[in-house]
Amino acid sequence: MPAFVVRPRSLRWASLSATALIAACADGQSTPRFDPNASAKSQAALFMEVQKKSDIAKLDKLAVTSCNVLYGTETGASASTRPGLGEDRSSRGEVNVSTLYVMQGVDNTQLQALTGSLCESASAKLAAAGYTLIPGSELAAHASYQKMHAAGQATPFTMKQKNGTTYTVFTPAGQSVVDQGFMSTGGAIGNVFKAMGGGGPGVAEAALIDELQTAAVHINILVDFASAKSNDKKGILGNITGQDSAKVDAKVSLAVSGFVSFYPVADLQCFKSLATPCSMPNAPRSPRVIAKLPLESGEPFYSSIADIKSTGSKVGETAYNVFAGLTQLAAAAAGSGSGAGMVHTTRYGVVVDYPAYRTATSQLSDRFMDMALASVH
């Protein structure tokens, strides 16, 4: 696999031939791959995880009170070599490498329009699955619904994950982000809101579904255009053992994941005897369907990929190759080390073909909803 390799007293170039790279990639493909030609039911168990399935099965009347779409706009990773505990630093030459992909060629107006389409289609999937949906026009006219979205966070806004991916968050026109447990699945991004008092969106939403006596549904769709992963060793073990190689694997590929949360009326936290307003239940404990793996498309969605800004400082030679969607970085340096080091940063611009991106994203989002619903029926 692509690697910077550091050895005592010298840096040596570790390279792979095309044949070796193909073999290595084939050996590493142990995770299921989404098949667009297979049925949603046949793949649901592979890609979806259901929490409290029996509670979802009891629901028949729903109100889609929240739909968030997160578009990956930047993604990257970095890795670096370092000595182990007690190792002589003077005999080493350290390496730091980082790779970043930036989505280009699409603007917020286009993403806003796509968001409305994705959320409308997702709601239609719920209706097609047999649920009775309260019409959006009826919800929008309700005072509690208006208070809920007035108290939420306006979109678009950006959020950055710890793994280096930046998302731009959108909601349909007239809505806001209202889920206090927003994106808490898997510790991905963390809560948008801290606990809020009586004026928070959760209180208004709880009042809404209590008055309507219907379950609320939150739809969350994540759209990624690239992925990157480093071999950095984390934590105490990495500090003790050190790291003699630095590598970043990256690829450009459209993928959709997400989760659908259900909030039954019976789960509202109400203490009416104390004359306090109801509040929404804790999101991670509510019934929901989560994508365990992203649904990845092989369809082309971009017109070009270009090196938009790369920088490097070196004590020897640097080289990078792009092969079969994997970014390879390699370094070579001769000499005694003596603390010499190298830094290499690469930025790629992925120019999106918006019509192709819109079509592929819509297809993947529909299949995500198909699988989510197939997993609970």
- Tokens found for residue 120: 């409308």
Distance in angstroms (rounded) separating the CA atoms of residues 24 and 15: 13
- Over residues 119-141, the mean pLDDT reads 97
**Confidence label for 285 from pLDDT (cuts 50, 70 and 90):** confident
The set of long-range contacts for 235-240, using a CB threshold of 8 Å and a minimum separation of 24, is 238/82, 239/85, 240/84, 240/85
> What pLDDT shows up at residue 148?
94
> What pLDDT shows up at residue 4?
34
**Confidence label for 250 from pLDDT (cuts 50, 70 and 90):** confident
> What pLDDT shows up at residue 131?
97
> What pLDDT shows up at residue 90?
60
> What pLDDT shows up at residue 209?
94
Higher-pLDDT residue of 23 and 228 is 228
Higher-pLDDT residue of 308 and 22 is 308
Q: Range with the lowest mean pLDDT among 21-25, 153-157, 340-344, 356-360?
A: 21-25
Higher-pLDDT residue of 230 and 257 is 257
The reply to whether 326 falls in a domain is no
Q: Range with the lowest mean pLDDT among 14-18, 93-97, 260-264, 309-313?
A: 14-18
Distance in angstroms (rounded) separating the CA atoms of residues 206 and 294: 31
Determine phi and psi for 298, rounding to 5 degrees.
Answer: -95, 5
Higher-pLDDT residue of 29 and 342 is 342
The reply to whether 68 falls in a domain is yes
Question: What is the domain extent for residue 190?
Answer: 38-72+106-245+252-300+355-374
> What pLDDT shows up at residue 275?
60
Q: In total, how many domains does the chain have? A: 1
What are the residues whose beta carbons fall under 8 Å from the beta carbon of 83, sequence distance 6 or more? Answer: 89, 92, 94, 242
Alpha-carbon Rg for the chain, nearest whole angstrom, is 24
Highest mean pLDDT among 72-76, 180-184, 359-363 belongs to 359-363
The reply to whether 111 falls in a domain is yes
- Over residues 351-362, the mean pLDDT reads 97
- Over residues 222-243, the mean pLDDT reads 71
Percent of the chain with pLDDT over 90: 51
> What pLDDT shows up at residue 233?
62
pTM given for the model: 0.78
Q: Report the SS3 class of residue 227.
A: strand
**Confidence label for 347 from pLDDT (cuts 50, 70 and 90):** confident
Cβ neighbours around 294 below 10 Å, total: 21
Please write the tens of the pLDDT for every residue from 24-59. Answer: 333 444 678 899 999 999 999 999 999 999 999 999
Cβ neighbours around 120 below 10 Å, total: 14
DSSP characters over 304-370: EEEEEEEEEE-SSEEEEEEETTEEEEEEEB-S--TT-EEEEEEEEEEEE-HHHHHHHHHHHHHHHHH
Burial of 224 (0-12, 13-18, 19+ CB in 10 A): buried
**Helices 354-374, 40-47: crossing angle, 10 deg rounding:** 90
Cβ neighbours around 288 below 10 Å, total: 24
For residues 67 and 122, the answer to whether their CB atoms sit within 8 Å is: yes
The reply to whether 214 falls in a domain is yes
Highest mean pLDDT among 60-74, 228-242, 243-257, 269-283 belongs to 60-74
The reply to whether 47 falls in a domain is yes
Mean pLDDT of the chain: 77
Bridge-partner residues for 7, per DSSP?
A: 10
Whether the per-residue pLDDT at 370 is higher than 90: the answer is: yes
Please write the tens of the pLDDT for every residue from 77-122. Answer: 766 666 666 566 666 666 777 788 999 999 999 999 999 999 999 9
- Over residues 66-81, the mean pLDDT reads 86
> What pLDDT shows up at residue 17?
24
Whether the per-residue pLDDT at 277 is higher than 50: the answer is: yes
**Confidence label for 245 from pLDDT (cuts 50, 70 and 90):** low
> What pLDDT shows up at residue 273?
64
Give Cα 293 distance to the centre of its chain. 10
**Residue 35, CB-side half-sphere exposure with 13 Å CA sphere:** 11
The reply to whether 188 falls in a domain is yes
Whether the per-residue pLDDT at 63 is higher than 80: the answer is: yes
The reply to whether 80 falls in a domain is no
> What pLDDT shows up at residue 278?
82
CA 97-99-105 angle, 5° bins: 160
- Tokens found for residue 161: 């994950």
Number of H helices, E strands in the chain: 9, 17
CA–CA distance from 250 to each of 19, 76, 346 (Å)? 19, 8, 11
